[in-house]
């Protein structure tokens, strides 16, 4: 036995036999820094022969941010190379590495690097020649820029890039790159599928959880620079003194990583915790209350970011309660924050008092207010006009608000895309909307150019993602959902990056650089969101989920009090056809887009098939460009979605050799759930729509396994993240077939 073990060890050392990867639980995210294989290890060791501590003699003592940058570099290199390169005060070795700002590093001050274009957060990574020696520098104007540069440098090694002749300059395209936590003060997370909230209010301010630092480090590694700690369905309690003291302690932990703290404010807080009888934004007492509250916050947190507001939406209080406008409400808070440099992120997700089409409402309410907001207000607009559906066309507010900075809000948590159990990489979805053309200033007026401010010259820019982070060991409820946190950060830094390139980076860092693993996994990720669209809401359908929990299919649901809480409101399926007519003959929501786009979407001939039923009510027998009828096409899409999940499972099952057993097994188990639920979605949807289309299935296509009545009776009582009371299931109710 001993001989056998010795032989195995020798073979492993020679690289002739794949050692089983040590078990991992995903907690390290993409910052694992495992020992690199040859030839990479030797190549990088030669390239980074020494780290230069060039702070001696510099104008300032190193800040905690700069020290973090250096220790991250040491940590990364120690892991990746097996040992950290020696630290020296002078670049005595060829291929020395030095990092800092011209202020913190005397050598960099003398090097006169072109840093001016990098702004406050950008960085440069350059190979320079110094007295005949190659030196690698990571330089920035500020310490947080150096920290971002250190992570970017490590990423090169983590993903096996060459370190020769580096000439990298990078600066964020967007100013505010923010995670919105929908975390409640009781520790629950609305639409959260990764366990409880990571914020443990009971132990703050005295005992901040070490996870806060790990969280901030992960955010910094992808350039996220802000976090809204609490749910937009906000409790006013967060603004009380005891909570603000806790928030200040948290802000102190996050600050060195460049992460600013924001809070979701409750509009009626002056009444609930301020003892006033009104929250009218034009009332002098209300204005004075907010000014004083903001002053208190800034005394505790001098770099506080500002407020996020959900007002006059889904029952939340707002200025309309007092006959005032969104601009009145936002400006009142903006005026309180302005002297301290804070901003208001005012959400455009509003609907209610339904007229004809929910997809029109935000536009109708906000466009007349364009130009009425004060300079430190951003309008936070969801990517699509309804609500984070698996696929929506771009929100028409992008391109319509020329004088109000619009930031985009996307959902990272997968409320409508299979929670944490379904594998759906959201990079392609974010990319789709960022690259979508609003035509607001002619061709090329992409959403990316709206939100980066280049189209309309916005004063402030930003992007927010509803966080998918919780107290689970793996942070996001599944291994692959980490990729959605990652891709959000990378695209918020640079919306022109490709979702595929980001997926590849993430796979290499999170799992393996082995091309036999990277290629199939990236392909699987890139197709995964489309698979969900196919088995849940193909061809432009939306909001077909069960009410409230949003878990599982419910295309037949019609009994909710508000029309737009019912899937039938969105699918409009009847014996004549299916789809929502949003053309001029219907709600004319299409008229909210710029003309060439509106014309394209209005015509059955030119509307992209992926948006067909979003904009048109189409007869079941209509021939599509494929030559198939709408009904056949719909059924094939549902089926294609299930097949894609089967293919993902097959792909994954062949990859055990490249992943540690723990993460391999977890992904495999979740793919099995996804397959079962994809089948449920497909079968239940087809079973329902067939009662209306009364058409046979295309040849060779399997019928649903159960009757419509059985699908309608399915009850799923375990749904996480639901803010209401989960449905009570009768004992006779089947669970998922
Ligand atoms: C925070 C959807 C979700 C709600 C969420 C809301 C919002 O409607 O289902 O849980 O509330 O969006 O974005 O405000």
Expressed in angstroms and rounded, the spacing between residue 368 Cα and the centre of ligand 1 is 24
Closest ligand 1 atom to residue 231 Cα is 1
DSSP string, 662-706: HHHHHHHHHHHHHHHHHHHHHHHHHHHHHHHH--PPPTTPPPPSS
Residues 416 and 326 in one domain: yes
**Of 180, 85, 179, nearest to 135 (Cα)?**
85
Residues 184 and 148 in one domain: no
**Of 426, 502, 495, nearest to 177 (Cα)?**
495
Residues 288 and 352 in one domain: yes
Expressed in angstroms and rounded, the spacing between residue 655 Cα and the centre of ligand 1 is 37
In a domain? residue 474: yes
Closest ligand 1 atom to residue 382 Cα is 13
Instruction: Report angle CA 313, 724, 388 to the nearest 5 degrees.
Output: 50
What CATH code is carried by the domain that includes residue 647?
3.90.1330.10
Residues 220 and 320 in one domain: yes
In a domain? residue 232: yes
What strand order describes the sheet that includes 133-139?
A: 87-88, 50-52, 96-100, 133-139, 123-130, 167-170
The full length of the chain comes to: 737
Residue having the nearest C-alpha atom to atom 11 of ligand 1: 233
In a domain? residue 22: no
320-352 confidence digits (pLDDT tens): 999 999 999 999 999 999 999 999 999 999 987
- Does ligand 1 have an atom closer than 6 angstroms to the CB of 155? no
Residue having the nearest C-alpha atom to atom 8 of ligand 1: 387
- The CA distance from 580 to 607, in Å, is 13
Distances from the Cα of 473 to the Cαs of 151, 506, 673, in angstroms? 22, 18, 20
Residue that finishes a domain, picked among 112, 135, 170:
170
* Candidate of 183, 309, 316, 349 to mutate for ligand 1, largest count of ligand atoms within 8 Å of Cβ: 349
Expressed in angstroms and rounded, the spacing between residue 521 Cα and the centre of ligand 1 is 31
Structure confidence at residue 374 (pLDDT): 98
Residues 498 and 541 in one domain: no
- The CA distance from 727 to 722, in Å, is 10
Packing angle between helix 427-435 and helix 499-510, nearest 10 degrees?
Answer: 160
Expressed in angstroms and rounded, the spacing between residue 196 Cα and the centre of ligand 1 is 18
Residues 165 and 182 in one domain: no
Q: Which stretches does DSSP call E strand in 299-445? A: 306-309, 343-347, 377-382, 406-411
In a domain? residue 560: yes
In a domain? residue 718: no
Closest ligand 1 atom to residue 232 Cα is 1
Tokens of 506: 């993430």
- Does ligand 1 have an atom closer than 6 angstroms to the CB of 307? no
The whole domain housing 86 covers: 35-170
pTM for the whole thing? Answer: 0.96
Expressed in angstroms and rounded, the spacing between residue 189 Cα and the centre of ligand 1 is 12
In a domain? residue 8: no
Residues 121 and 195 in one domain: no
260 φ, ψ (degrees, to nearest 5)? -90, 150
Q: Are strands 87-88 and 123-130 parallel, antiparallel or unpaired?
A: unpaired
Structure confidence at residue 724 (pLDDT): 86
Residues 545 and 428 in one domain: no
Structure confidence at residue 89 (pLDDT): 81
* Candidate of 188, 189, 233 to mutate for ligand 1, largest count of ligand atoms within 8 Å of Cβ: 233
Residues 156 and 269 in one domain: no
- The CA distance from 722 to 406, in Å, is 29
Across the 737 residues of the chain, what is the mean pLDDT of every consecutive 10-residue run? 44 45 91 97 94 80 94 97 90 86 89 92 94 90 98 98 96 98 98 98 98 98 99 98 98 98 98 98 98 98 98 96 98 98 98 81 96 98 98 98 98 98 98 98 98 98 98 98 99 98 98 98 98 98 95 95 93 98 97 97 98 98 98 98 98 97 98 97 98 98 96 87 82 74
Residues 220 and 348 in one domain: yes
- Does ligand 1 have an atom closer than 6 angstroms to the CB of 490? no
- The CA distance from 475 to 597, in Å, is 40
* Candidate of 180, 181, 182 to mutate for ligand 1, largest count of ligand atoms within 8 Å of Cβ: 182
263 φ, ψ (degrees, to nearest 5)? -130, 145
- Does ligand 1 have an atom closer than 6 angstroms to the CB of 358? no
Structure confidence at residue 16 (pLDDT): 42
Residue having the nearest C-alpha atom to atom 12 of ligand 1: 387
- Does ligand 1 have an atom closer than 6 angstroms to the CB of 233? yes
Structure confidence at residue 106 (pLDDT): 85
Structure confidence at residue 355 (pLDDT): 66
Residues 494 and 420 in one domain: yes
Expressed in angstroms and rounded, the spacing between residue 349 Cα and the centre of ligand 1 is 9
Peptide bond into 117 cis (omega under 30): no
Structure confidence at residue 734 (pLDDT): 75
- Does ligand 1 have an atom closer than 6 angstroms to the CB of 381? no
Expressed in angstroms and rounded, the spacing between residue 723 Cα and the centre of ligand 1 is 10
- Does ligand 1 have an atom closer than 6 angstroms to the CB of 191? yes
Total domains in the chain come to: 3
Residues 149 and 183 in one domain: no
147-174 confidence digits (pLDDT tens): 999 999 999 999 999 999 999 999 999 9
Coil, helix or strand for 715?
coil
Structure confidence at residue 733 (pLDDT): 73
In a domain? residue 261: yes
Coil, helix or strand for 511?
coil
| Residues β-bridged to residue 704 | none
What CATH code is carried by the domain that includes residue 501?
3.20.20.80
- Does ligand 1 have an atom closer than 6 angstroms to the CB of 349? yes
Expressed in angstroms and rounded, the spacing between residue 114 Cα and the centre of ligand 1 is 45
- The CA distance from 669 to 652, in Å, is 11
Q: Cα 410 from chain centroid?
A: 6
Residue that finishes a domain, picked among 149, 170, 191:
170
Alpha helices in 82-166 (DSSP H): 106-111, 143-158
The answer to whether residues 108 and 54 touch, using CB atoms and an 8 Å cutoff, is yes
Structure confidence at residue 424 (pLDDT): 98
Residue having the nearest C-alpha atom to atom 13 of ligand 1: 349
Distances from the Cα of 292 to the Cαs of 228, 260, 286, 334, 505, in angstroms? 21, 21, 10, 13, 46
- The CA distance from 394 to 39, in Å, is 46
In a domain? residue 447: yes
Coil, helix or strand for 194?
coil
Residue that finishes a domain, picked among 510, 544, 566:
510
What CATH code is carried by the domain that includes residue 102?
3.30.379.10
Packing angle between helix 211-221 and helix 143-158, nearest 10 degrees?
Answer: 80
- Does ligand 1 have an atom closer than 6 angstroms to the CB of 310? yes
- Residues carrying an active site annotation: 314, 387, 415
């Amino acid at each position: 036995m001993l001989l056998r073990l010795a032989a195995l060890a020798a073979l492993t050392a020679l690289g002739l036999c794949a050692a089983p990867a040590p078990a991992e639980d995903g907690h390290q995210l993409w910052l694992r820094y495992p020992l690199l294989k040859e030839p990479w290890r030797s190549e990088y060791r030669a390239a980074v022969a020494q780290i230069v501590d060039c702070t001696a003699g510099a104008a300032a003592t190193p800040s905690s941010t700069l020290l973090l940058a250096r220790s991250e570099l040491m940590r990364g290199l120690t892991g990746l190379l097996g040992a950290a390169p020696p630290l020296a005060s002078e670049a005595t070795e060829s291929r020395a590495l030095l990092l800092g700002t011209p202020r913190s590093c005397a050598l960099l001050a003398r090097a006169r690097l072109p840093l001016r274009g990098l702004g406050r957060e950008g960085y440069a990574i350059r190979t320079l020649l110094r007295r005949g020696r190659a030196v690698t520098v990571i330089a920035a104007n500020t310490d947080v820029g150096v920290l971002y540069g250190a992570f970017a440098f490590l990423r090169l090694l983590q993903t096996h890039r060459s370190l020769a002749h580096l000439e990298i300059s990078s600066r964020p395209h967007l100013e505010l790159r923010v995670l919105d936590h929908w975390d409640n003060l009781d520790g629950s997370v609305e639409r959260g599928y990764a366990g409880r909230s990571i914020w443990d209010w009971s132990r703050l301010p005295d005992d901040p959880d070490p996870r806060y630092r790990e969280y901030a480090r992960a955010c910094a590694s992808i350039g996220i620079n802000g976090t809204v700690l609490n749910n937009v369905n906000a409790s006013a309690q967060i603004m009380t003194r005891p909570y603000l003291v806790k928030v200040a302690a948290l802000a102190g932990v996050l600050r060195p990583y460049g992460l600013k703290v924001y809070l979701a404010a409750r509009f009626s807080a002056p009444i609930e915790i301020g003892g006033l009888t009104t929250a009218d934004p034009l009332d002098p007492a209300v204005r004075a209350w907010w000014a004083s509250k903001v002053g208190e916050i800034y005394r505790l947190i001098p770099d506080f970011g500002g407020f996020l507001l959900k007002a006059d939406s889904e029952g939340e209080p707002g200025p309309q309660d007092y006959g005032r406008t969104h601009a009145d409400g936002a400006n009142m808070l903006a005026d309180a924050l302005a002297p301290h440099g804070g901003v208001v992120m005012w959400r455009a997700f509003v609907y209610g008092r339904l007229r004809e089409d929910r997809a029109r409402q935000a536009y109708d309410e906000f466009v007349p207010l364009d130009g009425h907001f004060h300079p430190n207000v951003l309008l936070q607009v969801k990517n699509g006009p309804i609500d984070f559906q698996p696929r929506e066309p771009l929100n028409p507010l992008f391109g319509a608000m020329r004088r109000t900075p619009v930031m985009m809000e996307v959902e990272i948590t997968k409320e409508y895309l299979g929670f944490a159990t379904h594998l759906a990489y959201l990079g392609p979805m974010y990319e789709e909307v960022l690259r979508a053309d609003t035509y607001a200033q002619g061709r090329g007026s992409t959403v990316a150019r709206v939100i980066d401010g280049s189209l309309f010259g916005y004063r402030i820019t930003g992007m927010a993602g509803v966080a998918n982070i919780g107290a689970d060991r793996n942070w996001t409820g599944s291994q692959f959902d980490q990729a959605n946190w990652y891709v959000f950060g990378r695209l918020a830094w640079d919306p022109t990056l490709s979702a595929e390139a980001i997926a590849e980076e993430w796979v290499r860092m999170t799992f393996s650089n082995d091309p036999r693993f990277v290629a199939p996994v990236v392909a699987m990720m890139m197709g995964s969101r489309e698979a969900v669209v196919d088995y849940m809401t193909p061809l432009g359908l939306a909001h077909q989920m069960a009410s409230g929990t949003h878990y599982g299919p419910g295309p037949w649901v019609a009994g909710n009090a508000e029309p737009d809480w019912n899937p039938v409101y969105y699918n409009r399926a009847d014996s004549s056809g299916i789809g929502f007519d949003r053309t001029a003959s219907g709600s004319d929501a299409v008229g909210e887009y710029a003309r060439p786009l509106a014309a394209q979407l209005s015509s059955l001939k030119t509307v992209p098939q992926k948006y067909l039923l979003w904009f048109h009510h189409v007869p079941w027998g209509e021939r599509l460009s494929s030559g198939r009828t709408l009904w056949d096409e719909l059924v094939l899409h549902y089926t294609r979605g299930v097949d894609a999940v089967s293919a993902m499972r097959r792909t994954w099952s062949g990859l055990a050799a490249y992943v540690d057993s723990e993460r391999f097994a977890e992904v495999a188990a979740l793919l099995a759930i996804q397959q079962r639920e994809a089948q449920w979605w497909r079968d239940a949807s087809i079973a329902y729509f067939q009662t209306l289309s009364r058409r046979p299935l295309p040849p060779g296509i399997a019928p649903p396994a159960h009757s419509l009545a059985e699908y309608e009776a399915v009850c799923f009582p375990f749904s996480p993240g639901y803010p209401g009371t989960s449905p009570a299931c009768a004992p006779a109710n089947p669970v998922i077939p």
